[in-house]
Structure 1
Amino acid sequence: MWISILGCSGGIGPGNRTTSILIDDDILLDAGSGVGDLELQQMSKIRHIFISHSHLDHIAFLPFLVDSIFSQIKTPIQVYGLPETIKALKDHIFNWTIWPDFSELPSKEKPVMQFNEMLPHTSIQIGERKITSIPVEHVVPGVGFCVQNEEGKNFAFSGDTATNDSLWQALNKLSSLDALMIESGYPDSMEDLSKLALHYTPARLADDLKKLKHTPHLLISHLKPGLETEIAEGLHNHLKEYDVTCIKSGDSIQL
């Protein structure tokens, strides 16, 4: 299983792309601005897109992706998300005002994109990979995802979240956890703001990791631009027992 980090930043700027992870060459977890760095041929291979929640930095390039490969699509791209997330996409993006509704183009009978509601704790089997949604705690309804391949390797992605129990309970049910991509959007000095925005700080992440029975490679994402050094220092101080990497756009991992 190849995991390509197209985007993982909490903002934009030179070298910064918002959240999007490519699994092998056909599955996308979120569709932030990192999608825009793919070649057209790479975009056309994507068949399944799992959206963690409705915030713009996680969905912004979904409309552009579908529009760019419209003429090359033979079967509909499948888009999965919570009912609330699918409703937000339909009401506020693919509504014929902000963007055409590609779930009705070129016709309702043969669209290039199909929406699929995916409830928490449910799984979708795609070839030899199983994708399971895990509820997390954010300011809008959100989930993380666990991707398991045919060899039993597990990669988990938290999406955006703050302190919760559901993520850790679900991960503890796995026989193993090889890599966990989890956010730490703010430094410890901005604890009050992190509570309002429902993002982890290094200290709060360290506290929640005590609930986890596995010791995966931690891939830290969603660092806010300009705060990366302070967040990284906090992670180093709090997570000495873990293998921790503050990932960047363009990184890749093989499991």
Structure 2
Amino acid sequence: MRRRANLRALLPALLLLTGAAPPSPAFDLVALGVNGGIEEPTSAYHITARGARSGVMCDAGTLAAGIDQAQRRGGYPRAASRQEVMASISAYLITHAHLDHVAGLVLASPNDTKKDIMALAPVNQALADHYFNWSAWPNMGDRGAAPRLARYHYRDLEPGGPPTLIAGTAISVTAYRLSHAGSPSTAFLLQSGSDALLCLGDTGPDAVEGSTHLNDLWRAVAPLVQQGRLRGILIEASYPDPVPDNQLYGHLTPSWLGKELQALRGMVGNDARMKALPILVTHIKPSEAPPSNRETVSRQLHDLGFFNFIIMEQGRPYAL
């Protein structure tokens, strides 16, 4: 029932305004962790091309516990053990090396299978230097402090480079730079056949970060939106409004997210396509007192109008 209800919630976003039937899903996504900041479950998204058995993780702040929760909530329709799900992950795409995006990967590594960690070069270097270094944790990678156990092979991605095929999957990936309070972060454009899915790590707005990274990303993906080929955008809204710009610490609020999406809308020039695009909101930081930040962010996004915002929930499957 939950899966059917979730699919019904997404159908309006997938309807083309020509009256045609919604396109068949191109990707399956299971949210293993959706929160930002101090409280589990933190960012982790298991993505496969539709019908495929092997896929990728976009970030891995939560892993084993997230798989268990997804199994309880129907995120994995076929009965599978945690180890079988882990084995179906062909690679980790790590947006940046902050702990809430990599803790699950580090903790699960002794029981994991061999696979790639794909990231920008400074992100992979941070993993080797600060986590898999025989001080914080055994070196499960193939670079850095000896002995190198080589459970993981680091693959450095060139920002804006040609699509890189992810071994064992039907998915290729292109990495784009983001700015997160001056530290490197990443957006991953996943492509399967003619379809694409965009997963952003933590990011501040260009105007606050003093960068053009989001503007450059929007220009890269606008043609995919125009053609109806981009199946969704995973993007953060960490804090509810209002937050002073000097206290964003490299994050977005609903108002800043709305401004950035308006910039993309202007580049797309097709409101029907833009309105149909699912905007899957991630990384909301927990609050200590009611109303919850999730409730407040959800209401503030709803008040923006136009865009099809979906607040992601742990353990839920999403067909995109």
TM-score normalized by structure 2?
Answer: 0.71
Distance across 1 between alignment mates of 2:64 and 2:245: 32
Please tell me whether the aligned partners of residues 134 and 170 of structure 1 are also in contact (alpha carbons under 8 angstroms).
no
SS of residue matched to 2:295: helix
Report the secondary structure of 1:60's partner residue. helix
Q: Which residue pairs with 1:241 in the alignment?
A: 306
Cα distance in 2 for partners of 1:193, 1:249 equals: 30
Describe the superposition over 1:166-212 as per-residue Cα deviations: whole angstroms up to 9, x where unpaired: 221222142432211111001111233553x1111111111111121
Partner AA of 1:165 in structure 2: N
Contact persistence 2:94–2:118 (CA under 8 A): yes
Equivalent-residue separation in structure 2 for 1:217 and 1:45 (angstroms): 26
1:186 lines up with 2:251 in the alignment? no
Residues 217, 244 of structure 1: 8 Å contact kept: yes
Which of 159, 162, 178 is 2:201 aligned to? Answer: 159
Correspondence 1:48 to 2:113? no
Map of 1:90 onto structure 2 = 128
Cα offset for 1:54? 1.0
What CA distance in whole angstroms lies between the structure 2 residues aligned with 1:252 and 1:153? 19
Per the TM alignment, residue 18 of structure 1 is displaced from its structure 2 partner at its CA by 0.5
How many pairs does the alignment contain?
244
Report the Cα distance in structure 1 between the residues aligned to 2:98 and 2:219, rounded to whole angstroms. 25
SS in structure 1 of the partner of residue 32 of structure 2? strand
Q: Please list every run of 5 or more consecutive structure 1 residues that lacks an aligned counterpart in the other structure.
A: none
**1:219 matched residue in structure 2:** 280
Residue matched to 2:57: 28
Stretches of structure 2 that go unaligned for 5 or more consecutive residues are: 1-26, 49-53, 68-81, 206-213, 288-292
- Aligned-residue identity in percent: 27
Whole-angstrom distance in 2 between the partners of 1:53 and 1:80: 11
Contact 1:30 1:58 in 2 (8 A): yes
C-alpha separation between the residues in 2 aligned to 1:169 and 1:35?
36
CA change 1:217–1:10 in 2 (3 A) is same
Change (3 A) 1:194 1:170: farther
Structure number having the greater helix percentage: 2
Deviation at 1:63, TM superposition (A): 1.6
2:106 maps to what in 1? Answer: 63
Letter in 1 for 2:196: N
* Residue number among 110, 125, 131 corresponding to 2:165 in the alignment: 125
TM-score by length of 1: 0.88
Deviation at 1:245, TM superposition (A): 0.9
**Structure of greater Rg:** 2
- Higher mean C-alpha displacement, 162-171 vs 90-99: 162-171
Q: CA RMSD in A?
A: 2.1
What letter is aligned with 1:20? A
Partner of 2:219: 169
CA contact under 8 A between 1:7 and 1:35: conserved in structure 2? no
Report if the CA contact (8 A) 2:179-2:185 is conserved: yes
**d(CA) in 2 for partners of 1:112 and 1:154?**
29
Task: Tell me, in whole angstroms, the C-alpha distance in 1 between the residues paired with 2:44 and 2:313.
Answer: 11
C-alpha distance in structure 1 between counterparts of 2:116 and 2:238, whole Å = 29
Hey, what does 2:153 align to over in structure 1? 114
* 3-state DSSP of counterpart to 2:89: coil
State the SS of the aligned residue for 1:189: coil
Q: CA deviation at 1:65?
A: 2.3
